[in-house]
Amino acid sequence: MDFSVSPVAIELGELFEAHGFELALVGGPVRDLLLNRPAHDLDFCTSARPEEFEPILKKWGDGFWDMGRKFGTLGAIKRMPDGKEYSVEITTYRSDTYEPDSRKPEVNYGDSLEGDLSRRDFTINAMAIRVPSMEFVDPFDGQRDIERKILRTPVEPEQSFDDDPLRMMRAVRFVAQLGFRIGIDTAEALYDMAPRIEIVSAERVRDELCKLLLAQYPHEGLEALVDSGLAEFVLPELPDLSLEIDEHHRHKDVYEHTLQVLDRAIALETDDEGPVPAPDLTLRLAAIMHDIGKPRTRKYEANGKVTFLHHDAVGAKMTKKRLKALHFDNQMVSDVSTLVDMHLRFHGYVDERWSDAAVRRYVKDAGHLYHRLNRLTRADATTQNKAKEQMFARAMDDLEERVIELKEKEDFESIRPDLNGDEIMAILGLAPGPEVGRAYKHMLDYRLDNGPVDRDTAVQELKRWYEEEN
C-alpha cells in the first residue's frame, strides 16, 4: 500500500533503525491517512525504552518534553527546512493492566508492535506503518472497518471498556467526528457497561463531550450518547427531554426539537471574521441546554393545553448545576446559563415592537452574548407555520437593524448611570453596602429607560426612589 507519510516520520524511522530500534507510526495519524484527513501531530511507538531513545530524540528535535515519562512517552518538536513545525510523541511498546476501580493503567512495557496495538481503543486506531520500511500493520482489520464506517474494539468490548471506561465516551465522540456507527457487539457492551463511566473524572468526560459538540456531526454524536445510555450519567437532562407525545399532539418532542435547534444554531455560526466564529462551544452548549427546564415545569391546563411556564429560569439553574458538575470554567457556566435564561426574551418583541429603551436594555443585559443570543433565539423558532416563521424572522431582522442604528448614536457597553457610586453615597448619606448597589442598579435602569439626563434630574430621581423604598 502506498502511503504519503511525512518526511519527518521517515527521517525518525531511519534514525531509530540506525540505532537498532523499531519505530512505527500508529493510531490517529494512520487512520487519518486512510481517511485522507490531515494529521497535525505524529504518534509513534518503539521497541526502545525511554532511557534508550531519549538521547536520540533530544539530538534530533528542536524542543523536547517528558511529561509522559511515567507512561513511557517522550515528545519533541521538529522544524523542517520548509518552515513547517511537527509535534511528535514516541511511546515504548506497552502492555497495560488496570485496577477494577481505576482507568489509570499500571504501565508494563511490551515486546511487540502487534501487542501494543491490541491495547488500543478501536480497530481504526489499532493500525501502524513501520518506518522507514513503510510496512502496513493491521492485525484487527481496522482498514476494513474504516471502509464500512464501523467502530469496533480490537479485543472483546467488555474487556476494553472495563479496562478504560473513557473509551465509551471516545466511541460516541468518534461518531460525531467521523460519522461512523458503533458496531453491534460494541454497542451492546457499551450500553451494559455505561454506569462504569462514573469512575472517570469529570474533567475527562467534559473534554470528550466538548470534542463531540465541536465535531462535524454533533447531532449524531448526541444521539449515540443517549442511545448508549451514557447520557444518563453524563448529561441526564438530555434524555429527560424525550417527553411522551400525547394522542392529540399538543406538544412536540422536546428532545428532537433540541437536536433540531442545535443543527440550526450551527448553521448560523459565522466564519472567522464574523461575531460567532464556528465552531462555537458556548452557542452549541446553550442549544442543547435551552429547554432542559421543560420536564420540571410541564403542566396540563384544564383546557388540555400543555404549558412550560418559567422553564427558561428553571433551565438556567439546572444548566449552571450541570456545567459545574462537569467542571466547566466559571465563564462558560455563566455564559451558557445566561443564554438559557434569556432565550425567550425576544418573543415579546414579536408580539409588540419594543421602545428604544427596551432595545437598549436587551442589548445591555445580553452584553457580550448578544450575537449568540440572537442566533440561539432564531434557531429555537422551529415552527412549521411558514407565515409565523417569516414574521419571527422579520421581527429579529428589525431588532438587529435598530440595534445598529442605536449603537451609532451611543455605545451600549459604556452606558453608566448619570450618578456614580460615590455620588450616590454622598447624596443619600450612605456607607458602602448592598443599599448602594440597589440604588446604582435603579439609576442604571433609569438611564436605560430614559437616556442621559442632567444632574439635577438624576438627583431628583435618586431621592424619589430612595424615599419610596424606605
pLDDT in tens, 39-79: 778 999 999 999 999 999 999 999 999 888 988 999 999 88
* Paired strand residues for 91: 45, 73
Domains and CATH numbers, the chain: 1-142 (3.30.460.10), 278-414 (no CATH), 421-469 (no CATH)
Per-residue pLDDT tens for 260-288?
A: 999 999 999 999 889 999 999 999 999 99
Q: Please determine, for residue 413, whether its predicted confidence score (pLDDT) is greater than 80.
A: no
What is the per-residue pLDDT for 252? Answer: 56
Residue among 399, 414, 290 nearest 343 (CA): 290
When mean pLDDT is compared across 237-251, 294-308, 316-330, 428-442, the lowest value belongs to: 237-251
Q: Which three cell numbers stand for residue 439?
A: 440604588
Model pLDDT, residue 246: 42
Question: According to the model, what pLDDT value does residue 234 have?
Answer: 97
What's the rounded mean pLDDT across residues 363-386?
93
pLDDT of 97 > 60? The answer is no
249 pLDDT higher than 70: no
Instruction: In whole angstroms, give the CA distance from residue 462 to residue 439.
Output: 7
Residue 359 pLDDT level (bands cut at 50, 70, 90): very high
Q: Average the pLDDT over 428-432 and give the result.
A: 90
Predicted confidence (pLDDT) at residue 251 exceeds the cutoff of 70: no
> And the C-alpha cell for 446?
433609569
Q: Which three cell numbers stand for residue 163?
A: 479496562
> What pTM was estimated for this model as a whole?
0.87
- Mean pLDDT confidence for 24-32: 95
pLDDT of residue 300: 84
To the nearest 10 degrees (0 to 180), the angle between helices 254-267 and 218-227 is 160
Reference 318, options 373, 225, 201, 237; nearest CA is 237
CA distances from 416 to 81, 251, 413, 465 (A): 55, 43, 9, 18
pLDDT interval class at 248 (50, 70, 90):
very low
How many Å apart are CA 236 and CA 176, to the nearest integer? 19
pLDDT single digits (tens) 333-351: 999 999 999 999 999 898 8
Of 378, 459, 375, 448, nearest to 419 by C-alpha is: 459
CB 123 within 8 A of CB 30: no
Work out the end-to-end distance of the chain between its first and last CA atoms, rounded to an integer number of angstroms. Answer: 84
Q: What is the pLDDT of residue 304?
A: 76
Residue that wins the pLDDT comparison between 3 and 456: 456
Contact 140, 153 (CB under 8 A): no
Can you tell me the distance from the alpha carbon of 240 to that of 233, in angstroms, rounded to the nearest whole number? 12
Q: If pLDDT is split at 50, 70 and 90, which confidence band does 250 have?
A: very low
Range of lowest pLDDT (186-190, 380-384, 413-417, 430-434): 413-417
436-461 mean pLDDT: 88
Side-chain-facing half-sphere of 443: CA atoms under 13 Å: 28
- Segment 284-325, tens digit of pLDDT: 999 999 999 999 999 888 887 888 899 999 999 999 999 999
3-state SS class at 194: helix
Of 444, 452, 436, the C-alpha closest to 417 is 444
Section 149-178 average pLDDT: 96
Torsion of CA 269, 272, 278, 280, to 10 degrees: -100
Dihedrals φ, ψ of 329, to 5°?
-70, 160
* Cα dihedral value 411, 417, 421, 427, nearest 10: 150
Q: Whole-angstrom Cα distance, residue 362 to residue 436?
A: 24
The residue with greater pLDDT, 103 or 439, is: 439
Q: Is the pLDDT of residue 453 over 90?
A: no
Residue 7 vs residues 13, 36, 146, 333, 385: alpha-carbon distances, Å: 10, 17, 25, 44, 57
CA-based Rg of the chain, rounded to a whole angstrom? 28
Residue 361 has pLDDT above 80, yes or no: yes
For 132-162, write each residue's pLDDT tens digit. Answer: 999 999 999 999 999 999 999 999 999 999 9
Q: What integer best gives the mean pLDDT of the chain?
A: 91
